[in-house]
Structure 1
Amino acid sequence: MKNIAVIGAGTMGNGIAHTFAQKGFNVHLIDISEASLERGLNTIAKNLDRMVAKEKITEADKLETLNNITTFTSIAEGVKASDLVVEAATENVDLKLKIFEQLDEACDENTILATNTSSISITQIAAATSRPTKVIGMHFMNPVPIMKLVEIIRGYNTSDEVTNTIMELSKALDKVPVEVNDYPGFVANRILMPMLNESIETLYNGVAGVAEIDTVMKLGMAHPMGPLQLADFIGLDVCLSILNVMYEGFKNPKYAPCPLLVNMVRAGKLGVKSGEGFYDYSSSKKAEVVASQFLK
């Protein structure tokens, strides 16, 4: 397995492309937007520069990694001759189903199709193709070049051969693959998202403020980042989407998103990506607690 196509040049997509390219794979990074591709490549270059500065890689390693990446705005062109396609588009089920229909038509019959979804059913995605045995979840953690875990999610029809291949491939990336079954949220988000949602509920109910909640979890539970700041980092829209998938999948009220989270997303307060969430990330400030109507 040498040729890898990555769909989506956003935060996860460019991180996945970076990781494969640094390990010597030929990577086709695909996005409908040239501007997104340019931003993705710039992000990869900046992350590689940090690694050079820390003497983790050489300048030659950086250039080789960048040379291993080719960009495309066409899925049909970008996935040609790919051994594996990793879809890392927005966490939207209709979009993913449409992409997998396109991939099924454009890819060789032996190409493995993986999705980086953090919550959506692999079985449902696989059903949009004529190759459900070759569809699998490959859920990387953010930031991809640093985080070791990859959740490997088997759909109902995913074959043993494909699962074993992706497990070994993940190890070749110096990742630690963990095989899990296909239920909403899988393992990581089934446990993480209710904690984040409960932290937002704690704020919403006036038990404590943003800084106080995060401080309790950092100092009391040894978390490297407080849950509200972590939600900002993930993206409040992403958190809401995952919680909605879990709520719809289980029909259990414990997964219902907090009204404060819903309102903040409606207001465009999405966390780091929008410059403001529970904290302010504007150019003159660094993660300062927001004093807004949503937190009263």
Structure 2
Amino acid sequence: MRVAVLDDYQRVALSYVYWTELPAGVEVTPLHEHVADLDELAARLEPFDVVVAMRERTALPGALLERLPRLRLIVTTGMVNASIDLAAAASLGITVCGTAATGASTVELTWALILSVVRGIASADSAVRQGVWQSGTVPGGDLAGNTLGVVGLGRIGSRVAVIGQAFGMRVLAWSENLTAERAASAGADLASSKEELLSAADVVTLHLKLSDRTRGIVGAAELALMKPTAYLVNTSRGPLVDEQALAAAMARREIAGVALDVYDTEPLPPGHPLLDLPHSVLTPHLGYVSRTGFDVFYREIVADIAAFHAGSPVRVVTP
């Protein structure tokens, strides 16, 4: 059995000892570089019986799966992966299994980005290294006494909201089906509309699943509602935000700053307009990338492969 581990950007996959628990004869090959071209990806994966997908870094559509006659098992980190064509996998006899996922690392990164962009940490760090001591900078913003707008109050958003209160912030929350009772359980007030939240918040943070309904939920009209002193943070999914509208709004200084961990196209290609945004902090989709998170992922990936090899797959993901 040959196993391919996709998108091992940091070259850490094989450092997890759990692989030694696999039966003799199972060969594990990490692929370190992202491959977007369908033909090249099909050629790379053709020799493998098992593909391990690191979240949604690489799409596995039906057009690819049907070109991989040896493939019998896909293991994805987490139990939900919108980049895998589950119906096509089922029709081709490919089993899809998942793992547990931890949300703590994404919550913590969200607050790392909020603090960094509001206080200008990244630019201040760069200035100190260049021998500049505060010259040319402006005072950073404050959190205490200001309003945090949480768009999406699910597992991650509710934990972000609780931390906002610890900073002395008023927390407003909104999503299409959010109730006042659910908002109150996270210590938040329910905004009557998306527009009210965007107009009132000093920091807006997005925590929604990507769907046809949420794609582009923050576009030019929404950005125009935000205060010129407000900040936008996205650690959820890139397409929630219209990137062209965001670049234009930032160029016109319609909002004070932006912090992003997710993008329409990942990895972010050279020359992308987001790379030139002023007053921005950009990270390479690190929300779930932590030692604890990866330990959970790789332990359960190995367990999934071993169970499949034994003929009793566990944590099966169905269409």
TM, length-normalised to structure 1: 0.42
Higher relative contact order (CA 8 A, sep 6+): 2
CA radius of gyration, larger in:
2
TM, length-normalised to structure 2: 0.39
